[in-house]
Structure 1
Amino acid sequence: MVDKNRDDMEPDARGDEPQEPKVHDKRKIDPKTGEPRPDAADRAPDGGDGLSDDDLALLADAEKDLVAEYRDRAARAEAELENFRRRVERDRQANREAVIAEVIRSLLPAIDDLDRADAHGDLVEGAPLTLVSQKLRAGFEKYGLRRVGEVGEPFDPNIHEAVVSLPDPDVEVETVKDVIQPGYVLGERLVRAAKVAVSAPPSA
């Protein structure tokens, strides 16, 4: 009896040896040296869908344009944020000055009373009312409050309110002749205009 399995163990009828399986090593790193294989970067993927040099150049240009666009956007966003911060700070300062000006404006009648008392000689050295006046004025000056309206200075409608105007041949421009009520300025903000009498050159 012939063993049929024996044919599988021997070379085929043509005398060929059994075929060994072929292994294709596609690793990009040489397992022995650990170095990239020379053709790893240049080898096109199987299937023939590799990019040409022109395609790679177009992709590189597109990447540069995209990076430039995002950098420009980031720069513009940073500039807008800085402008926003400046506006907020400017508005905060303006609101602070407005509140201080309103508080000072409400206390100006008391300052006027102290001025009148001083003009009548009631504020003597060391008197309690004199000390109160000094402390009150020092507190206002700390916030930048200054008095406006002096006899002899040119009339300025931005800080003066002319209560009366008298012709005077000795002046060439409108000039403050008398201060009826002093004015006050806080920084660049007018708290109260000075009420004044004005000497004006005679009209032609």
Structure 2
Amino acid sequence: MAKDKDNNNGSDEPVVPTEAGEGAEATASAPRPSQAEPHSEDGDTASVETADDLIQAEGPDVEMLSDEEVAFIEQGEKDLVAEMRNDMLRAQAELVNFRTRVERDRVANREAVIAEVIRSLLPAIDDLARAEKHGDLEGSPLEVVAKKIRTAFDRFGLRIVGEKGEAFDPNFHEALVQVPSPDVKVNTVADVIEPGYALGDRLLRAAKVAVSVPSDS
């Protein structure tokens, strides 16, 4: 019994024999789990490459831009931005011009309509003016009507054209009679036969007048 204990090195556990060639050196050289190569799901060994490895691998094939090429690209981007900005400013200017033109046309159309309405009422205004001149309106209801009509037309800028004694202007006067006179040096309105009317700068009807012209003597 003492001999069996010596063979077991003082241990009661039995010694498990190992295969030939395996021993402490084989156990020590076995790779640790952390050093073992990773395996893929299929059981094959997966090759691990870091980002630096990929950059170094692809580095020789990457074409670097020169300073001139970079400057050309940057200048192209600046030119594109400038062109887009100019297009935007041009579009804004066209929009402003369009709005101005529309507003101008709207005002012109409004004035044209008002002028046409007043022009159609001029014969009635002439009748009221002649009746007032002869005193037929005084104290009658038509006197109030005539005042209201004149007040309404004054708000639109209606004015009478043609006054006795002013210089003759063919743009506003229509000469029906010419009378030579030594008292005038230029053609002058001697009498207003029918007054004219203008709405702002728009002539509705020229004044019919008698004109005194300078005599030869």
Q: TM-score range by the shorter chain?
A: 0.7 to 0.9
1:113 to 127, 137, 151: 127
For 2:82, the aligned partner's letter is: A
What are the superposed Cα offsets for residues 102-128 of structure 1, whole Å, 9 maximum, x if unpaired?
A: 100110111000111011111214x20
1:52 and 1:11 mapped to 2: Cα distance? 53
For 1:84, the aligned partner's letter is: F
Gaps of 5+ in 1: 3-9, 27-42
Q: Secondary structure at the match of 1:199?
A: strand
For the pair shown, the structure with the greater C-alpha radius of gyration is 2
Report whether the alignment pairs 1:49 with 2:77.
no
The question of whether the paired residues in 2 share the 8 Å contact of 1:164 and 1:196 is answered with: yes
- Shift of residue 18 of structure 1? 5.9
Number of residue pairs the alignment of both structures matches: 175
Gaps of 5+ in 2: 1-18, 20-27, 39-46
2:91 and 2:181 mapped to 1: Cα distance? 61
What are the superposed Cα offsets for residues 13-60 of structure 1, whole Å, 9 maximum, x if unpaired?
A: xxxx8667443136xxxxxxxxxxxxxxxx9x8540342322111111
For 2:50, the aligned partner's letter is: H
**Aligned pairs (5 A) from 1:86-165:** 86-125=100-139, 127-165=140-178
Q: Secondary structure at the match of 2:170?
A: coil
For 1:77, the aligned partner's letter is: A
2:101 and 2:83 mapped to 1: Cα distance? 27
Q: Secondary structure at the match of 2:51?
A: coil
- Shift of residue 11 of structure 1? 7.4
**Aligned pairs (5 A) from 1:80-91:** 80-91=94-105
Report whether the alignment pairs 1:184 with 2:200.
no
1:185 and 1:120 mapped to 2: Cα distance? 24
* Structure ranking higher on relative contact order (CA contacts 8 Å, 6+ apart): 1
1:49 and 1:163 mapped to 2: Cα distance? 95
1:185 and 1:154 mapped to 2: Cα distance? 17
TM-score by length of 1: 0.77
The question of whether the paired residues in 2 share the 8 Å contact of 1:11 and 1:18 is answered with: no
Q: Secondary structure at the match of 1:153?
A: coil
% identity of equivalent residues: 58
**Greater helix share, structure number:** 2
2:82 to 51, 54, 68: 68
Runs of 4+ aligned residues of structure 1 deviating over 3 Å after TM superposition are 17-23
Report whether the alignment pairs 1:24 with 2:50.
yes
Aligned to 2:214: 201
What are the superposed Cα offsets for residues 111-152 of structure 1, whole Å, 9 maximum, x if unpaired?
A: 000111011111214x20100000111111111111111000
